[in-house]
Amino acid sequence: MTASRTREHTATREQIATAGRIVVKVGSSSISGENVGQIAPLVTALADAHARGAEVILVSSGAIATGMPYLQLDARPTDLATQQAAAAVGQNVLIYRYQDSLDRYGIVAGQVLLTAGDLENPSHRSNAQRAMDRLLGLRILPIVNENDTVATQEIRFGDNDRLAALVSVLVKADLLVLLSDVDALYTKPPHEPGAVKIVDVTVGDQLADVTFGDIGAAGVGTGGAATKVSAARLAADAGTAVLVTSATLVAEALAGHPIGTFFEPAQP
């Protein structure tokens, strides 16, 4: 069961600035460690969209990465139990940081933790959709993350790009913005000679002859360019426009500036 709202189709870049329901996904490396200072400008961009009347959902990675220093860990743990422990500590700190920044704008965050099983089970999926719709109706800003403390290796989303796409489908979002460390998608890893920026991806474009490397330099995330393309296609095929760009360009992205890679949504 999906949300019952009528989607305000964001079919072109020019319509991004007026999108009514927006999901923004940010990765671990963009808001943890030495980049923790990026939370404030990210929140400012979300608050600006919120102030113009948009309904905004943030899908934020970073619980494990945020918790690592508190467990005296120098690298992302590989065993599930330590990942769960780091997530339990880090999720608390992460939400505090977001709320502390949102307080400047009088916006209240609502924490929503999901597992893959929640969106596969019809009853759980319906409950998640209803809760999200109610939070948005109350002008609360939901902050969604995978529930790493209870998720197992067998029932994980794999990466939060996919989670963000599934949330976009769940709530019938007009726009999904996937943020990373790179300003757009390229025909090959952007540091390689001959890499060309991909500006627009039309419906059905298979991106032939494109070679994807990883996005992310901090070693604390799990996604890359290929996962972003997969997630973007999932959302776009369901009717949600998608923009892939850098976390440092989030304000420009939500204002509709001609940046990043735009995935045209399928029409009903």
Q: Which tops the pLDDT comparison, 115 or 251?
A: 251
Residue of 24, 47, 56 lying closest to 160 (CA atoms): 24
Q: Which residue has the higher pLDDT, 268 or 36?
A: 36
> Rounded to 5 degrees, what angle do the CA atoms 62, 117, 262 make?
55
Residue 231 and residue 164 in contact, taking contact as beta carbons nearer than 8 Å: yes
Average pLDDT, rounded, for the chain: 89
Using pLDDT thresholds of 50, 70 and 90, give the confidence band for residue 108: very high
Which has the higher per-residue pLDDT, 153 or 207? Answer: 207
Fold of 13-263: Carbamate kinase (3.40.1160)
Residue type, 1: M
Is 159 annotated to bind ligand?
A: no
Whether the predicted pLDDT of 171 surpasses 80 = yes
Beta partners for 146? Answer: 114
Q: What is the pLDDT of residue 4?
A: 55
**DSSP readout, the chain?**
----SPP----SGGGGGG-SEEEEEE-HHHHSGGGGGGHHHHHHHHHHHHHTT-EEEEEE--HHHHHGGGGT-SS---SHHHHHHHHHHHHHHHHHHHHHHHGGGT--EEEEEE-HHHHHSHHHHHHHHHHHHHHHHTT-EEEEEE-TTT--GGG--SSHHHHHHHHHHHHT-SEEEEEESSSSEESS-TTSTT--EE-EE-TT---TT-------SSS-----HHHHHHHHHHHHHTT-EEEEEEGGGHHHHHTT-S-SEEEPPPP-
- Torsion sign across C-alpha atoms 124, 91, 78, 157: positive
- Contacts of residue 82, defined as CB under 8 A and 6 or more positions apart, other chains included, come to 71, 73
* CA–CA dist 236, 250 (Å, integer): 19
Q: Can you give the pLDDT at residue 224?
A: 73
Residue with token string 């990942």: 83
Determine how β-strand 21-26 pairs with β-strand 197-198: unpaired
48 has binding-site annotation: no
Across the range 217-223, mean pLDDT stands at 45
pLDDT-derived band at 10 (thresholds 50, 70, 90) equals confident
Q: What is the pLDDT of residue 206?
A: 81
228 is in an annotated binding site: no
| pLDDT value, residue 211 | 80
Residues 6+ apart with CB under 8 A from 121: none
The predicted-structure confidence for 38-62, as pLDDT tens digits, reads as follows 999 999 999 999 999 999 999 999 9
100 labelled as ligand-binding? Answer: no
Query: Does 61 carry a binding-site annotation?
Result: yes
pTM value is 0.91
User: What is the arithmetic mean of pLDDT over 201-223?
Assistant: 66
CA distance 262 to 221: 23
Query: In terms of residues, how long is the chain?
Result: 268
Task: Give the confidence band of 163 by pLDDT, cuts at 50, 70, 90.
Answer: very high
Percent residues over pLDDT 70 in the chain = 90
pLDDT the model gives residue 221? 46
- pLDDT in the model for residue 216: 44
> Worst-scoring range by mean pLDDT, 6-15, 176-185, 188-197, 242-251?
6-15
Answer whether residue 25 shows pLDDT above 70: yes
N-term to C-term CA, the chain: 17
pLDDT attached to residue 268? 72
Do the annotations mark residue 101 as ligand-binding?
A: no
